[in-house]
Amino acid sequence: INMDLLHSNGVLIIQHLQRDYRAYQDFLNFMSHVGDPRNIFSIYFPLWFQLNQVVGTKMIWVAVIGDWFNLIFKWILFGHRPYWWVQETMIYPNQSSPCLEQFPITCETGPGSPSGHAMGSSCVWYVMVTAALSYTVRWKHKSAVTLHRLTWSFLWSIFWIIQISVCISRVFIATHFPHQVVLGVFAGILVAEAFEHTPAIQTASLRMYIKTNLFLFIFALGFYLSLKLLDIDLLWSVPKAKKWCANPDWINIDTTPFAGLVRNLGALFGLGLGINSEMFITSCKGKNSCRISFRILCVAASLATLQLYNFVKIPTHTEYLFYILSFCKSAAMPLTVVALVPYCVHSLMRTTAKKLN
């Protein structure tokens, strides 16, 4: 009954947002995209990795482990999503269930609690803000202390504005209840804070990356199968999504629980492969790596190359093929940023330098 009360109050908030903030629809849809965990690999990571490899590496670990915890929590909490809950609940008398509007990005197929967008967004922005502030902590002058305080206030304000906007956008499109996004934000901060105290990830060998990947995969699969034996289907939310989504075309295999898992494991594997490759050691540990021009070229080339990956559409008709190709595509992204692009830029600069000499 308490959950029904929480959900019905959540529905009132969604209705209020959809009715009174209709004018901000484009902005709120945009904020949902800002919070999309997939942006971490295609935008935030390439930018930060070339500026600071320690932060870039931490970002992928935090994103992957955070999203993995998100999946496990979703499976444990069995959270409903508003757009199907209003259709199925019995608390509204004689067929008077409230009308919630749906959007092309509403129909997520996984369970709703905690919000993956809110969790992914808060853990990555937490890493970025703490990384930026670690630079200002080193300022020792009297005036610098004031500047550090101002920077601190400014960056954390930006952090909370972004998190609140992402949360409101997820509630506005009726894909989450308010309590689910709040839970997501705080869970994300906890994961990011835990990684502030794990320096071991910076020196992890390829073997360590593979072991971590296997552990995450086997644990998630084992958890899924053992509950299936108890007759608990952890993919219970997928048929609900298909049944109550206003437009069947809005259902995306990309949002199923296992799709996210495969994508994350691919990214972590690609990072491990890249960081432990000869290409990375030659280019990013070489004398060019200190040059600003080298880093800027790497950022530009990485971002441009990763945009091309968006045009690679993975066939979705066979589920297993989709998962295998999704893993490969996700692994290719960090590998491109960490090893391929810097190596090509490094080789170009070396050739140019030889010609000039």
pLDDT digit string (tens) for 267-276?
A: 999 999 999 9
Question: Sign (positive/negative) of CA torsion 290, 296, 302, 305?
Answer: negative
Query: For 287-309, what is the mean pLDDT?
Result: 87
| 336, pLDDT greater than 80 | yes
pLDDT digit string (tens) for 186-217?
A: 999 999 999 888 888 888 999 999 999 999 99
CB atoms within 10 A of CB 210: 14
Number of H helices, E strands in the chain: 16, 0
Let me know if 117 is a catalytic residue.
yes
The verdict on residue 249 lying in a domain is yes
Query: Residue 139 is encoded by which pair of tokens?
Result: 């300022």
Query: Residue 88 is encoded by which pair of tokens?
Result: 């199925």
The verdict on residue 147 lying in a domain is yes
The verdict on residue 333 lying in a domain is no
Which residues fall within 8 angstroms of residue 33, CB to CB, at 6 or more apart?
39
pLDDT digit string (tens) for 84-128?
A: 999 888 888 766 778 899 988 888 888 998 999 999 999 999 999
pLDDT band at 44; cut points 50, 70, 90: very high
Higher pLDDT, residue 310 or 58 = 58
Question: How does the average pLDDT of the chain come out, rounded?
Answer: 89
Average the pLDDT over each of 21-35, 43-57, 184-198, 250-264 and give the range with the smallest value: 250-264
Q: Which residue has the tokens 């080339």?
A: 301
- The SS3 assignment for 104 reads coil
Identify whether the C-beta of residue 267 lies closer than 8 Å to the C-beta of residue 68.
no
pLDDT at 148: 81
Phi, psi of 264 (to 5 degrees): -70, -40
pLDDT digit string (tens) for 64-78?
A: 999 999 999 999 999
The verdict on residue 309 lying in a domain is no
pTM, to two decimals: 0.92
| 177, pLDDT greater than 80 | yes
| 145, pLDDT greater than 80 | no
pLDDT band at 3; cut points 50, 70, 90: confident
CA nearest to 79, candidates 183, 224, 221, 215: 183
What is the DSSP secondary-structure string of 203-270?
Answer: G--HHHHHHHHHHHHHHHHHHHHHHHHTT--TTTHHHHHHHH-S-GGG--GGGSHHHHHHHHHHHHHH
The verdict on residue 27 lying in a domain is yes
How far is it, in rounded angstroms, from Cα 63 to Cα 69? 10
| 1, pLDDT greater than 70 | no
The verdict on residue 200 lying in a domain is yes
**170 assigned ligand-binding residue:** yes
The verdict on residue 231 lying in a domain is yes
Question: Sign (positive/negative) of CA torsion 324, 329, 334, 336?
Answer: positive
How far is it, in rounded angstroms, from Cα 165 to Cα 32? 8
CA nearest to 31, candidates 223, 316, 39: 39
How far is it, in rounded angstroms, from Cα 267 to Cα 231? 32
Whether residue 178 has a cis bond before it, omega within 30° of 0: no
Q: Spell out the alpha helix ranges (H) of 94-205.
A: 116-136, 142-172, 178-195
Task: Look up the domain containing 59 and give its range.
Answer: 1-253
- Residue 208, Cβ density class (10 Å: 0-12 exposed, 13-18 middle, ≥19 buried): middle
The verdict on residue 55 lying in a domain is yes
Say which of 80, 117, 179, 346 is annotated catalytic: 117
CA nearest to 127, candidates 40, 34, 36, 38: 40
pLDDT band at 139; cut points 50, 70, 90: low
Say which of 80, 141, 148, 176 is annotated catalytic: 176
**149 assigned ligand-binding residue:** no
| 173, pLDDT greater than 70 | yes
How far is it, in rounded angstroms, from Cα 120 to Cα 308? 23
The count of structural domains within the chain is 1
CA nearest to 338, candidates 46, 41, 60, 131: 46
